[in-house]
Amino acid sequence: MTDAGAKRTNRRLFDMGRFVLFLGLTLLVAWVAATGRVAYMFVMLLIAGALAYAVLDLVDYEIVKRRRG
């Protein structure tokens, strides 16, 4: 495998790991919100943060996609 191929594979693995991490965080927050043991405002802030991250990640993806042509 070439260096470029290895870098692409590593980047994809990193992106998948990051996705799984934030998916787990979102599911944890949803579970905590369903049990009602944590302040509602805190849970909503965590969900808003996760959604903001998802939007920023999508925008970054589109920017990189346009640069690569």
Per-residue pLDDT tens for 18-55?
A: 888 888 888 887 777 777 766 677 777 778 888 888 88
What is the reported pLDDT for 21?
86
CA 25 to chain centre: 9
Task: State the Cα–Cα distance between residues 1 and 46, nearest whole angstrom.
Answer: 40
Q: How many Å apart are CA 8 and CA 68, to the nearest integer?
A: 13
Using 50, 70 and 90 to split pLDDT, how confident is the model at 1?
low
User: Token match 């589109």: residue?
Assistant: 62
Which residues make Cβ contacts (< 8 Å) with residue 25, sequence separation at least 6?
Answer: 46, 50
Q: What is the mean pLDDT of residues 2-23?
A: 78
- Give the pLDDT confidence score for residue 53 in this predicted structure: 86
- pTM of the predicted model as reported, rounded to 2 decimal places: 0.49
Residue with tokens 């579970």: 31
